Structure 1
Amino acid sequence: MTTQTTTQTTVDPAQVEELMGRLLNDLAATAGLQMTHIGIKTGLWKAMAGGGWLTPAEVATRSGVAQPYAREWLKHQTASGYVDHDPQSERFALPPAAAAVLADDVQSGIVGGFASMLSAMATDNAMVEEAFRSGGGVGWHQRSAQHWQGMDLATRAEVVPALASQWIPALDGVADKLRAGASVADIGCGYGAALIGIGQAYPSSRCIGFDYHDASIAQARKAAATAGVADHVMFEVADAVAYPGARYDLVLFVDTFHDLGDPLAALRHTRQALADDGTVLLVEFAAADRLEDNLNPMGRLLYASSALVCTANALSQGATDPLGTAPGPARLTELAREAGFTRISRVDVEAPFNLLLELRP
């Protein structure tokens, strides 16, 4: 007769309660982001900005939102700590700091862009769930249009204002080249907002964006025509490891490098396509090299985005060891050196969400 000994693990009820509390916070934050986004899209935040203490009826009138929805939205934002509430008068007010973020077109564009992408992730999760099991990928072309649009919105809000005014001027001699007339390539250009911004700021330069996603390229061409820069800002369907052209003065990877199936091959191709005195601007999300240094809200967002979007996209392109959304500066520097770049430096600009590296031969 065999006797089995069962070991029971005693679980501390207080630890269970604390864990459930954290899960509840996550659930509330997920729902809250959608409420915040609705406030942006319907003009609720702008309606409150500078308005002082307002009743739900007044907020509804100022925003054009139906009163029952405005009332519940105000209650939610009060519970979230974004709106102040006076219980005696039953009025609500938007603090100046909240107005500076949520009623501002640039700041709210970043929030709105990421909110759109997160909503799209929920729609696309059936594909991702299957990929988790199979080890396969989910390509950018398989995502919903809402995801593509959300990325474009975030790019327009975060990247476009800084790229021509701050980031490029911080690169050694690059702004002067662009003013005189240079050749620029953007790898993984998406809807083209970043490159169109460069084309508007430096009209003497010839700019070309590459992306494997034909629907994005079609949209980028329309955007360039609308912006009146199609004569010198063009877009083509091409892969990051084989895009055409040579002697580029500036090559951009704007939050796309980690999504590639073979980022090292892409950098090696770029090294060959670059002019002898050319520059690569590699823009990635701000992350530390070690996991233990990314245990914060930004790290949570990046690792979730990595598993749900970026790693899935890299695997769809044949990656065997994807970089992930948070590779860190050490890994990026290592790849740049392996690709043949000898001068690698961190660009000293204010970019809270991004890490910028300047690569030269």
Structure 2
Amino acid sequence: MNTATEERTPDTVVGQLVDELAGSLGVLLVALGTRAGLWKELAGAGPMTAAELAGRTGVAEPLVREWCRAQAAGGYLTYQPKDGTFMLPDGVAGALLRGPGLAMVDACTDMFRSMGAGFDEFAAAFAAGRGFGWHRHDALFWHGSDALTRVALPPELIGAALDQLGSVTATLVTGGSVLDVGAGYGTPTLAVAEHFPAARVLGVDYHEASVAHARATAADAGMADRVRFEVGTATDLPGADYTLVTFFDSLHDLGDPVGALVQARAALAPDGAVMLVEPLAADRVEDNLTPSGRMFYAVSTLICTPNAVSQTAGTGGPAPLGTQAGEALLRETAAAAGFTRVRRLPVEAPLNLVLELRP
């Protein structure tokens, strides 16, 4: 946490910037290792020289040599000076190859590539206070975002949350209906449908390209008969009497979060509920000044809040939540929308918190 304005010399600041650049380039090198098959060959192989790794992968030895040295400097590989060998430790292999590490990096790399190509346009909109809507990104960005969603919100996590909604869960097991707001490519929406095969599910999103992709995915999965996707906004939701309305990491993307929850409450059946999934955060800013908080604040600045601002710029409308709203502010937002019962679900989600809202 950094709440003080301690004296820092120019040298220490430049040193920090060098660390920043090293980390940014390091992410690209991790992704490069995936595409070149380097991580796969290193896993479980024991110590090997750069030349040996080059021989296994077909990548030129000088390139592999520099890549290995960079990974050793970053702590992903160990290096033995005596024989010049590199090794991928089991713990690192577990995180990268058997855990979410490489999938997360690959998804973010696609998003970074997209944002880099469009940075001038984004910076101009940012400086002018206009915001930057989701539709102004490109397909590479949208695909990367969906891949990241698959890492952060796997089906087993979504299912664990859905199983804790009491009467709502019981209704959806035998039927009922679900409305997913801000469905995007529909990955969580389809996870809900897979968890409740008897339920009817509708996903809405303002972004036409995402809706088209979600429809195609539902058709490929053989679920188009009971899972639909429509173009729509969070302030004009279609239908009524839903057993469950869901927001999967989407409320903070909206220009009017209270208005969206008002609409969601109005769309519920009398015994229905809203399930709200948002990034994990502390309630106080100073408690979010951590590496994780820094990442989320960066995502908020570059992606989520610009989308929300694009919906309200010049209207004098409500302030967006940002990606580090915290449970207290989310509860306040729910109360402002007319919800009287808010319960945090005991779900093991390293990057998210899950709230159940009832009128």
User: Which of these residues, 287, 290, 300, is aligned with residue 284 of structure 2?
Assistant: 290
Structure 2 unmatched runs, 5+: 1-5
Aligned length in residues: 350
SS of 2:163 mapped into structure 1: helix
Say if 2:45 is the partner of 1:46: no
SS of 2:276 mapped into structure 1: strand
Aligned residue in 1 for 2:256: 262
Task: State whether residues 152 and 193 of structure 1, in contact with CA within 8 Å, keep that contact through their aligned partners in structure 2.
Answer: yes
Aligned residue in 2 for 1:123: 117
User: Which of these residues, 230, 236, 242, is aligned with residue 236 of structure 1?
Assistant: 230
**For the structure 1 residues 18 and 347, does the alpha-carbon distance in structure 2 shift closer, same or farther, using more than 3 Å as the test?**
same
**CA offset digits 1:62-121 (Å, max 9, x no partner):** 445444333222111101001111122222111111111111264422232233223322
Superposed, 1:338-349 pairs within 5 Å as: 338-349=336-347
**For the structure 1 residues 340 and 41, does the alpha-carbon distance in structure 2 shift closer, same or farther, using more than 3 Å as the test?**
farther
Say if 2:131 is the partner of 1:137: yes
Superposed, 1:204-219 pairs within 5 Å as: 204-219=198-213
**For the structure 1 residues 70 and 225, does the alpha-carbon distance in structure 2 shift closer, same or farther, using more than 3 Å as the test?**
farther
Say if 2:265 is the partner of 1:271: yes
Superposed, 1:324-335 pairs within 5 Å as: 324-335=322-333
Cα distance in structure 2, aligned partners of 1:54 and 1:279: 56
Q: TM-score normalised to the size of structure 2?
A: 0.92
Aligned residue in 2 for 1:167: 161
Q: Displacement, 1:41? A: 3.5
**For the structure 1 residues 19 and 213, does the alpha-carbon distance in structure 2 shift closer, same or farther, using more than 3 Å as the test?**
same
User: Which of these residues, 191, 204, 217, is aligned with residue 223 of structure 1?
Assistant: 217
Say if 2:344 is the partner of 1:351: no
Aligned residue in 2 for 1:177: 171
Aligned residue in 1 for 2:3: none
Q: Displacement, 1:47? A: 2.2
**CA offset digits 1:127-182 (Å, max 9, x no partner):** 22112321111100001222111111011222133344322123334433322122
Structure 1 stretch 171-180 or stretch 70-79: which is displaced more? Answer: 171-180
**CA offset digits 1:7-61 (Å, max 9, x no partner):** xxxx97x722111111111111111111112223333222211111122243334
Cα distance in structure 1, aligned partners of 2:101 and 2:321: 28
Task: State whether residues 163 and 194 of structure 1, in contact with CA within 8 Å, keep that contact through their aligned partners in structure 2.
Answer: no
Q: Displacement, 1:341? A: 0.8
Aligned residue in 2 for 1:146: 140
Q: Displacement, 1:346? A: 1.1
SS of 2:296 mapped into structure 1: helix
SS of 1:190 mapped into structure 2: coil
Task: State whether residues 186 and 251 of structure 1, in contact with CA within 8 Å, keep that contact through their aligned partners in structure 2.
Answer: yes
User: Which of these residues, 299, 302, 320, is aligned with residue 296 of structure 2?
Assistant: 302
Structure 1 stretch 118-127 or stretch 151-160: which is displaced more? Answer: 118-127
Task: State whether residues 163 and 198 of structure 1, in contact with CA within 8 Å, keep that contact through their aligned partners in structure 2.
Answer: no
**For the structure 1 residues 164 and 292, does the alpha-carbon distance in structure 2 shift closer, same or farther, using more than 3 Å as the test?**
closer
**For the structure 1 residues 63 and 106, does the alpha-carbon distance in structure 2 shift closer, same or farther, using more than 3 Å as the test?**
farther
SS of 1:277 mapped into structure 2: strand
User: Which of these residues, 20, 25, 33, is aligned with residue 26 of structure 1?
Assistant: 20
Structure 1 stretch 72-81 or stretch 99-108: which is displaced more? Answer: 99-108
Q: RCO higher in 1 or 2 (8 Å CA, sep ≥ 6)? A: 2
SS of 1:317 mapped into structure 2: helix
Code of the aligned partner of 2:343: S
Q: Displacement, 1:304? A: 1.3
Cα distance in structure 1, aligned partners of 2:86 and 2:255: 50
SS of 1:224 mapped into structure 2: helix
Task: State whether residues 248 and 277 of structure 2, in contact with CA within 8 Å, keep that contact through their aligned partners in structure 1.
Answer: yes
Q: Displacement, 1:185? A: 1.3
Cα distance in structure 2, aligned partners of 1:77 and 1:174: 48
Q: Displacement, 1:271? A: 0.2
User: Which of these residues, 91, 109, 115, is aligned with residue 103 of structure 2?
Assistant: 109
**CA offset digits 1:226-256 (Å, max 9, x no partner):** 1221111111110011120111111111111
**CA offset digits 1:297-339 (Å, max 9, x no partner):** 1111111111111111011111542222211111111010111
**For the structure 1 residues 252 and 50, does the alpha-carbon distance in structure 2 shift closer, same or farther, using more than 3 Å as the test?**
same
Say if 2:312 is the partner of 1:318: yes
Cα distance in structure 2, aligned partners of 1:353 and 1:117: 19
Cα distance in structure 2, aligned partners of 1:305 and 1:34: 18
Aligned residue in 2 for 1:249: 243
**For the structure 1 residues 172 and 42, does the alpha-carbon distance in structure 2 shift closer, same or farther, using more than 3 Å as the test?**
farther
**For the structure 1 residues 197 and 115, does the alpha-carbon distance in structure 2 shift closer, same or farther, using more than 3 Å as the test?**
same
Q: TM-score normalised to the size of structure 1?
A: 0.91
Cα distance in structure 2, aligned partners of 1:172 and 1:61: 57
Task: State whether residues 40 and 103 of structure 1, in contact with CA within 8 Å, keep that contact through their aligned partners in structure 2.
Answer: no
Task: State whether residues 102 and 108 of structure 1, in contact with CA within 8 Å, keep that contact through their aligned partners in structure 2.
Answer: yes
